[in-house]
């Protein structure tokens, strides 16, 4: 139940087989690695060649399309209820050509489609576009309008955060519903995992400096699939270590994919397989060899901590770095609608009974949803407390002076910013 479908309502769909990787593999024409640089031994890029476009300014042209990667296929595909690989490749091409991020586009249009299906939008408000889930023609027309800054495309191009404000201002829809289904945090649209059953991934998305992407902490497999971090402390440790470790790749200018996309033999038998310890040792060795400076794996994390905390302070200065800004839309944590609850009723009823201690027998879906929501929201608040404590931040998410001193970031300009919130 991981693949976002219809604006993150569900994590699977019977038609998802139509966009299975085996089908895309047949479309990829490149048989040789085509990476960012000639020395990369992973060469993770791929392309569809001679793809004939059916819409837009290049209609009828045969083009090369770079991708799609998983995130693109999920965002412009299943998240919009679109399962035809040809439509996915065409949307991928026009996102790239217009310079629009595929993930943001898919998450934005998923929100727009759910608004359309719920009467927040209608044909009159969209300028005639029937933006139901699954309508690939409408999604393609929307991206062309977006590129020209016209009609509904111009409104969608504002992004979810601004669209929510715009709809409320127009008197379109219930603000609370828009907040619950608008998959954004800190103004960035969510990337492509259903996090409802993974508390750690909820934190990995919303307890970030950059907003909900899969770069800082990608914990869904550790947490939900392999159950390696069951306690709040385990999750908090992971939400400390992995964002720091991943930040380090940016500091030294290395691609992070070879770190854990390839695992050395015997990695699964090490005490902490998710960290890929042998590769961490390799990075330490390489850093020492290149710089000639003393270095170890603890200093690697400290180096990132300095930058990560500085980024947090930068966010605070820009008005975004407090606890309130780490709040998530409820769609990321649980079922917003009766349709979602009912589709997974066995799971939710079981959790109410066994985890929450609430007997669901004879209760309405609305009652059960309210109790489940209260529970899941309180779990997230507890996780925030645990993560902030581990990161050396106050309960409001502000780095303490003591922590800044410990990591050598108690610079006067930094202290001046945080002091206003301590
Ligand atoms: S593994 Fe990294 S460096 Fe290599 S092609 Fe992929 S993104 Fe580029």
CA 45 to ligand 1 centroid distance, Å: 7
Buried b (16+ CB within 10 A) or exposed e, 260-285: beeeeeebeeeeebbbbeebbeebbe
The span from the CA of 237 to the CA of 217, in Å, is 11
CB-ligand 1 contact for 257 (6 Å cutoff):
yes
The dihedrals phi and psi of 185, each to the nearest 5 degrees, come to -145, 135
CB-ligand 1 contact for 256 (6 Å cutoff):
no
- Give the mean pLDDT of 187-199: 97
Contact 67, 46 (CB under 8 A): yes
pLDDT at 298: 96
CB-ligand 1 contact for 36 (6 Å cutoff):
yes
CB-ligand 1 contact for 290 (6 Å cutoff):
no
pLDDT tens column, 130-176: 999 999 999 999 999 999 999 999 999 999 999 999 999 999 999 99
Closest-CA residue to 93 (of 33, 156, 36, 49): 49
Q: What percent of the chain has pLDDT over 70?
A: 99
The overall longest dimension of the chain from CA atoms, in Å, is 69
For residue 30, is pLDDT > 90? no
- Together in a domain, 203 and 184: no
155, 189, 223 - which closes a domain: 189
- Together in a domain, 203 and 171: no
Q: Say if 290 falls within a structural domain.
A: yes
Q: Say if 354 falls within a structural domain.
A: no
pLDDT at 32: 64
- Give the mean pLDDT of 190-197: 97
The span from the CA of 244 to the CA of 15, in Å, is 38
Q: Say if 272 falls within a structural domain.
A: yes
157, 189, 221 - which closes a domain: 189
Question: Based on the structure, what is the number of domains in the chain?
Answer: 2
pLDDT at 393: 98
pLDDT tens column, 313-343: 999 999 999 999 999 999 999 999 999 999 9
- Together in a domain, 56 and 167: yes
- Together in a domain, 184 and 203: no
For residue 373, is pLDDT > 70? yes
**Can you point out the beta strands (E) in 53-150?**
62-66
Atom of ligand 1 lying closest to residue 261 CA: 1
We report the CATH number of the domain holding residue 92 as: 1.10.569.10
Long-range contacts of 414-419 (CB under 8 A, 24+ apart): 414/310, 414/313, 417/313, 417/316, 417/317, 418/313, 418/316
Would you call 133 helix, strand, or coil by DSSP?
coil
- Together in a domain, 237 and 155: no
CA 408 to each of CA 132, 239, 246, 379: distance values in angstroms, whole numbers, following the listed order:
53, 21, 20, 33
**Closest protein CA for atom 8 of ligand 1:** 36
Domain span including residue 152? 14-189
For residue 218, is pLDDT > 90? no
**Count of C-beta atoms within a 10 Å radius of residue 40:** 15
Q: Say if 344 falls within a structural domain.
A: no
pLDDT at 33: 63
Q: What is the chain's mean pLDDT, rounded?
A: 95
- Together in a domain, 121 and 239: no
Mutational test site, ligand 1, from 33, 38, 40, 253, max ligand atoms within 8 Å of CB? 40
Element (H, E) at 298: helix 297-317
pLDDT at 217: 81
- Together in a domain, 219 and 82: no
- CA pseudo-torsion sign 284, 289, 290, 292: positive
Atom of ligand 1 lying closest to residue 258 CA: 1
CB-ligand 1 contact for 254 (6 Å cutoff):
no
- Together in a domain, 215 and 272: yes
Q: What percent of the chain has pLDDT over 90?
A: 87
pLDDT at 385: 98
Would you call 393 helix, strand, or coil by DSSP?
strand
Is there a cis peptide before residue 265, judged by omega within 30 degrees of 0? Answer: no
Q: Say if 122 falls within a structural domain.
A: yes
- Together in a domain, 77 and 169: yes
Closest-CA residue to 90 (of 26, 141, 36, 125): 141
Q: Say if 374 falls within a structural domain.
A: no
Q: Say if 148 falls within a structural domain.
A: yes
For residue 345, is pLDDT > 70? yes
CB-ligand 1 contact for 43 (6 Å cutoff):
yes
Q: Say if 266 falls within a structural domain.
A: yes
168, 189, 210 - which closes a domain: 189
- Together in a domain, 304 and 394: yes
CB-ligand 1 contact for 355 (6 Å cutoff):
no
Contact 232, 292 (CB under 8 A): no
- Together in a domain, 234 and 147: no
pLDDT at 40: 85
- Give the mean pLDDT of 275-300: 96
Mutational test site, ligand 1, from 30, 33, 34, 44, max ligand atoms within 8 Å of CB? 44
CB-ligand 1 contact for 49 (6 Å cutoff):
no
The span from the CA of 30 to the CA of 178, in Å, is 42
CA 281 to ligand 1 centroid distance, Å: 20
CA atoms within 13 A on the CB side of 46: 17
- Together in a domain, 52 and 172: yes
The span from the CA of 213 to the CA of 138, in Å, is 26
pLDDT at 31: 64
CA 37 to ligand 1 centroid distance, Å: 8
Please report which confidence band the pLDDT of residue 261 belongs to, taking 50, 70 and 90 as the band edges: confident
We report the CATH number of the domain holding residue 251 as: 1.10.599.10
Mutational test site, ligand 1, from 34, 45, 249, max ligand atoms within 8 Å of CB? 45
For residue 390, is pLDDT > 80? yes
**Closest protein CA for atom 5 of ligand 1:** 35
- Residue 8: CB partners within 8 Å, gap ≥ 6? 79, 110, 183, 190, 194, 331, 332
CB-ligand 1 contact for 42 (6 Å cutoff):
yes
């Amino acid at each position: 139940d991981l693949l976002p479908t219809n604006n993150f309502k569900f994590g699977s769909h019977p038609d998802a087989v139509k966009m299975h990787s085996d089908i895309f593999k047949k479309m990829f024409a490149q048989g040789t690695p085509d990476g960012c640089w000639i020395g990369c031994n992973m060469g993770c890029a791929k392309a569809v060649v001679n793809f004939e476009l059916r819409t837009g300014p290049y209609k009828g042209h045969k083009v090369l399309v770079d991708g799609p990667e998983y995130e693109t296929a999920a965002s412009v595909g299943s998240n919009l209820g679109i399962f035809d690989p040809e439509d996915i490749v065409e949307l991928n091409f026009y996102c790239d050509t217009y310079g629009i991020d595929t993930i943001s586009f898919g998450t934005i249009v998923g929100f727009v489609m759910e608004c359309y299906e719920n009467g927040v939008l209608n044909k009159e408000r969209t300028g005639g576009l029937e933006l139901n889930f699954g309508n690939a023609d409408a999604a393609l027309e929307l991206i062309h309008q977006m590129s020209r800054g016209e009609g509904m495309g111009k409104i969608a191009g504002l992004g979810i955060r601004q669209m929510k404000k715009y709809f409320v201002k127009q008197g379109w829809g219930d603000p609370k519903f828009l907040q619950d289904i608008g998959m954004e945090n800190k103004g960035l649209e969510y990337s492509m995992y259903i996090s409802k059953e993974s508390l750690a991934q909820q934190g990995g998305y919303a307890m970030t400096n950059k907003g909900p992407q899969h770069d800082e902490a990608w914990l869904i497999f550790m947490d939900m699939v392999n159950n390696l971090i069951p306690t709040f402390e385990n999750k908090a440790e992971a939400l400390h270590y992995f964002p720091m470790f991943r930040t380090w790749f940016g500091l030294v200018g290395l691609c992070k994919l070879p770190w854990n996309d390839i695992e050395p033999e015997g990695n699964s038998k090490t005490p902490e397989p998710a960290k890929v310890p042998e590769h961490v040792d390799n990075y330490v060795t390489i850093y020492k060899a290149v710089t000639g400076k003393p270095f170890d794996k603890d200093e690697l994390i400290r180096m990132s901590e300095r930058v990560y905390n500085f980024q947090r302070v930068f966010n605070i200065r820009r008005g975004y770095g407090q606890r309130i800004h780490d709040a998530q839309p409820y769609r990321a944590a649980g079922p917003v609608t009766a349709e979602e609850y009912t589709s997974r009723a066995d799971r939710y009823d079981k959790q109410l009974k066994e985890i929450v201690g609430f007997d669901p027998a004879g209760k309405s879906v609305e009652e059960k949803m309210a109790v489940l929501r209260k529970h899941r929201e309180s779990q997230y608040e507890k996780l925030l407390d645990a993560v902030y404590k581990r990161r050396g931040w106050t309960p409001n998410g502000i780095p303490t002076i003591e922590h800044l001193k410990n990591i050598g970031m108690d610079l006067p300009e930094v202290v001046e910013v945080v002091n206003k919130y301590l």
